[in-house]
Amino acid sequence: MVSSKELLPRESLLWIFAAQFVALLPQFTQLPLWVAFAWAFAVYWRLEVFRGRRDLPGRTLRLAVIVLTITGLALSYRHWFALEPMIALLAISFTLKNLELVSRRDAFVSLLLAYFVSATLFVQEQTIPYALYGLLCVWVITAALAAQLGSSSARPRRALGISVRLLAQATPLMVLLFLALPRLGPLWSVPQDTSAGRTGVSDSMAPGDFTELSKSTKPTLRISFDGPIPPPEQRYWRGLVYSEFDGRTWRQGFGVDPHNGGRVYWKTGERLLPQMGPRYRYQVIQEASRSPWLFALAQPASETQGVGETADDRLVKRTPVYSRFAYEVRSWPRETLQAPVSLSNAERRLNLQLPSFGNNRTREWMASLRNQGLSAESVSTQLLAHFNSAFTYTLKPPALGADSVDEFLFASQQGFCEHFAGSYVFAMRAAGIPARVVAGYQGGEWVSGEEYLLVREYDAHAWAEIWFDGRGWQRVDPTAAVAPERVRNGLESAAGEEFLQESFFPLHRIGVLSKLRLKWDMINYRWYQTVVSFDADRQQNYLRRLLGEVSPLRMALLFAVPTLIILLGIGLWIARSANGRKLPPAERLYQRFCQRMARVGVRRRPGEAPQDYARRIASEKPQLADYANAVTAAFEQAAYGGDSSAQKTLRKLLRWHFWLRRTATDSRELVGL
Asked if 515 interacts with another protein (CB under 8 A), we say no
Q: In DSSP terms, which residues pair with 392 in a beta bridge?
A: 414
Q: In the complex with another protein, which residue's Cβ is closer, 441 or 593?
A: 593
Asked if 416 interacts with another protein (CB under 8 A), we say no
Interface with another protein in residues 85-114 (CB under 8 A): none
153-166 per-residue burial string, b: 16 or more CB within 10 A, e: under 16: bbeeeebbebbeeb
Q: In the complex with another protein, which residue's Cβ is closer, 93 or 591?
A: 591
Q: In the complex with another protein, which residue's Cβ is closer, 560 or 583?
A: 583
Min CB(570)–another protein separation in Å: 25
Catalytic residue among 137, 209, 312, 461: 461
How far is 34 from 92, CA to CA, in rounded Å? 10
Residue from 439, 450, 449, 456 nearest 491 by CA:
456
How far is 276 from 627, CA to CA, in rounded Å? 96
Min CB(602)–another protein separation in Å: 15
Q: Mind giving me the DSSP string for 454-492?
A: EEEGGGEEEEEEEEETTTEEEEE-HHHHH-HHHHHH-HH
Catalytic residue among 459, 477, 521, 594: 477
Site for another protein (CB under 8 A): which residue of 608, 618, 661, 664? 608
Residue from 651, 623, 656 nearest 635 by CA:
651
- The backbone torsions φ and ψ at residue 193, rounded to the nearest 5 degrees and listed phi first, read -65, 125
How far is 467 from 240, CA to CA, in rounded Å? 17
Q: In the complex with another protein, which residue's Cβ is closer, 218 or 652?
A: 652
In this structure, are residues 359 and 434 in contact, taking their beta carbons and an 8 Å threshold?
A: no
How far is 339 from 470, CA to CA, in rounded Å? 6
Min CB(621)–another protein separation in Å: 15
Min CB(578)–another protein separation in Å: 13
Asked if 653 interacts with another protein (CB under 8 A), we say yes
Stretch that binds another protein, among 61-69, 172-180, 194-202, 588-596 (CB under 8 A): 588-596
In this structure, are residues 649 and 631 in contact, taking their beta carbons and an 8 Å threshold?
A: no
Stretch that binds another protein, among 80-88, 253-261, 554-562, 649-657 (CB under 8 A): 649-657
Reduced to 3 states, what is the DSSP secondary structure of residue 226?
A: coil
Min CB(580)–another protein separation in Å: 9
Stretch that binds another protein, among 40-48, 169-177, 314-322, 644-652 (CB under 8 A): 644-652
How far is 358 from 498, CA to CA, in rounded Å? 32
Min CB(584)–another protein separation in Å: 6
Scanning 351-498, the segments in alpha helix (DSSP H) are 360-371, 376-390, 404-406, 417-430, 478-482, 484-489, 491-495
Q: Which residues contact 630 (CB under 8 A, 6 or more apart)?
A: 653
Min CB(152)–another protein separation in Å: 24
The reply to whether 226 belongs to the active site is no
Site for another protein (CB under 8 A): which residue of 609, 620, 668, 669? 609
Asked if 668 interacts with another protein (CB under 8 A), we say no
How far is 98 from 53, CA to CA, in rounded Å? 16
Q: In the complex with another protein, which residue's Cβ is closer, 226 or 612?
A: 612
In this structure, are residues 142 and 168 in contact, taking their beta carbons and an 8 Å threshold?
A: no
Going from the C-alpha of 450 to that of each of 227, 228, 445, 522, the distances in angstroms are 12, 12, 9, 11
Min CB(571)–another protein separation in Å: 22
Site for another protein (CB under 8 A): which residue of 23, 111, 586, 617? 586
Catalytic residue among 209, 406, 417, 459: 417
What single DSSP character describes residue 399?
P
Asked if 611 interacts with another protein (CB under 8 A), we say yes
Q: In the complex with another protein, which residue's Cβ is closer, 231 or 606?
A: 606
- The backbone torsions φ and ψ at residue 328, rounded to the nearest 5 degrees and listed phi first, read -95, 135
The binding track of 546-585 with respect to another protein, each residue x by CB under 8 A or -, is -------------------------------------xx-
Residue from 475, 443, 225 nearest 334 by CA:
475
Site for another protein (CB under 8 A): which residue of 652, 658, 666, 667? 652
- The backbone torsions φ and ψ at residue 652, rounded to the nearest 5 degrees and listed phi first, read -60, -45
Site for another protein (CB under 8 A): which residue of 100, 125, 246, 587? 587
Site for another protein (CB under 8 A): which residue of 137, 462, 610, 667? 610
Q: In the complex with another protein, which residue's Cβ is closer, 486 or 604?
A: 604
Angle CA(188)–CA(191)–CA(196) in degrees, nearest 5? 155
Interface with another protein in residues 612-641 (CB under 8 A): 612, 626-627, 629-631, 633-634, 636-637, 639-641
SS3 labels along 176-203: HHHHHCCCCCCCCCCCCCCCCCCCCCCC
Site for another protein (CB under 8 A): which residue of 357, 446, 520, 656? 656
In this structure, are residues 643 and 624 in contact, taking their beta carbons and an 8 Å threshold?
A: no
Q: In the complex with another protein, which residue's Cβ is closer, 297 or 638?
A: 638
Asked if 341 interacts with another protein (CB under 8 A), we say no
Site for another protein (CB under 8 A): which residue of 143, 201, 425, 646? 646
Size of the site for another protein (CB under 8 A): 36
Q: In the complex with another protein, which residue's Cβ is closer, 373 or 642?
A: 642
Asked if 672 interacts with another protein (CB under 8 A), we say no
Task: State CA 538 to chain mean position distance.
Answer: 14
Stretch that binds another protein, among 107-115, 354-362, 487-495, 609-617 (CB under 8 A): 609-617
Coarse DSSP helix, strand, coil percentages of the chain, rounded to the nearest 5 percent: 55, 10, 35
How far is 532 from 129, CA to CA, in rounded Å? 13
* Cα dihedral value 375, 377, 382, 386, nearest 10: 150
Min CB(616)–another protein separation in Å: 13
The reply to whether 417 belongs to the active site is yes
Site for another protein (CB under 8 A): which residue of 316, 395, 594, 602? 594
Stretch that binds another protein, among 123-131, 491-499, 535-543, 598-606 (CB under 8 A): 598-606
The reply to whether 461 belongs to the active site is yes
How far is 354 from 405, CA to CA, in rounded Å? 12
Q: In the complex with another protein, which residue's Cβ is closer, 355 or 641?
A: 641
How far is 144 from 290, CA to CA, in rounded Å? 37
Which residues are annotated as catalytic?
417, 461, 477
Contacting positions for another protein (CB under 8 A): 583-584, 586-587, 590-591, 594, 604-612, 626-627, 629-631, 633-634, 636-637, 639-642, 646, 649-650, 652-653, 656, 673
